[in-house]
Amino acid sequence: MKTVILGASGQLGNCIRKVSSDKSIEGIVFPPEQTSNILDEAALDLLLSTEKPAYVVNCAAYTAVDKAEDEQEICRKVNRDGAANIARACQKHGATLIHISTDFVFKGDVARPLTETDPAEPENIYGLTKLEGEEEVAALLPAHFIIRTSWLYSEFGNNFVKTMLRLGRERDELGVIVDQVGSPTYAIDLAAAILHIITSGSMAYGIYHYSNEGVTSWYDFARAIFDISETQVRVKPLKTSEYVTKAVRPAFSVMDKTKIKNTLGLDVPYWRDSLITCLEQLSVTAQQ
C-alpha cells in the first residue's frame, strides 16, 4: 500500500519513518516540504498524480497553541484550508486520508473519558481550527480516518518530555500545572497505530481517539519524567489560575479508546510504560 506522509519533517512524520523502517514496511514516501505544501493545491495534485498513493497521512498542522490566538488567519489556513486541500486531492486521486487531530476540540469540562460522539466545543483557536479541519475532511472525502490524539511526545522535535529534561538540568525547582488532566501519547505508538490501519486495509472510516492508556496531570507527568530519568529537581504543583496562558486549555481531556481498540484491533500501551521506552531511547542517543 503506497503511502504519502505530509508533514514528514515533523515529530510524527519522523516517528512514522522510524517505525516503518523498524518494521520493514515498504512504499512509504516522505516528500520534502517544497513539493508537499498543503496550502498549494497544484503541488498536492502533482504529488498525488506522480506517487499514486493508496493512503495519505496528514501530519502537517499549526500547533503553536498560544501563538495561534494572535495568528488566527495562518492557523486557520493550515489547519482548516490545508486539510480541505488534502481531502480534495485524495478524492480526485482515489486515496484514503488519515488525518491527525487533537483532544483540544473538546471543552474539557466533563470528568469522564470522552468518546468520538461527544460534542466538540473547542475553547481556543487551535482547537477550533482543528475541528474545522475535521469537518472539511468529513464533508469532502468519505474515505477518511480522523485520529484525535493528545499530549504527543517522542525522541523527535520539541515536546514536553524533552523540555522537562532540559529544564530539569538547568534549574533546581520547576512549577508544573496540576489541575489539567489527560493522557500522554508516545508518538512512536501513534505511528505504529497509523501503520496498522494502513496495513490492515480497513475501510471502517470515521473519527477515532488514540492516546496511551491511563490518566495523569501535567504535574504527575513531569514527576514521572524526572523519577524515571533520575533527574534531581523539585517540582511544585501549580493551578491553572497561577499560570495564565493566552489560550485556554481543557481541564479534562482523557479520551475513550474503546472504538479504535474494538474496531481496528489495536492494543494501546500504558502511558508510563511508553515513557520509559522513550526515555531509554533518549538516553542511548545522548550517549552516542
- pLDDT by residue, tens only, the chain of 288 residues: 899 999 999 999 999 999 999 999 999 999 999 999 999 999 999 999 999 999 999 999 999 999 999 999 999 999 999 999 999 999 999 999 999 999 999 999 998 999 999 999 999 999 999 999 999 999 999 999 999 999 999 999 999 999 999 999 999 999 999 999 999 999 999 999 999 999 999 999 999 999 999 999 999 999 999 999 999 999 999 999 999 999 999 999 999 999 999 999 999 999 999 999 999 999 988 776
Q: How does pLDDT run across 181-197, given as a tens digit for each residue? A: 999 999 999 999 999 99
Nearest to 135 by CA among 79, 63, 193, 200: 79
Cell numbers of 122, please?
473547542
Strand, coil or helix: 64: coil
Give the integer Cα–Cα distance in Å for 225 and 228.
5
- Residue 44 region by backbone torsions, left for phi larger than 0, else alpha for psi between -120 and 50, else beta: alpha
Give the integer Cα–Cα distance in Å for 33 and 60.
10
What confidence score (pLDDT) does residue 285 get? 84
Enter the DSSP assignment of 230: T
Cell numbers of 44, please?
498536492
List 55, 126, 208, 210, catalytic entry: 126
The CATH architecture that domain 3-158+185-212+254-269 belongs to is 3-Layer(aba) Sandwich (3.40)
What confidence score (pLDDT) does residue 287 get? 77
Read out DSSP for 272-287?
A: HHHHHHHHHHHHHHHH
What confidence score (pLDDT) does residue 277 get? 98
* Residue spans per domain, the chain: 3-158+185-212+254-269
**What pTM, to 2 d.p., does this model score?**
0.97
Q: How does pLDDT run across 58-88, given as a tens digit for each residue? A: 999 999 999 999 999 999 999 999 999 999 9
Indicate if 126 belongs to the active site: yes
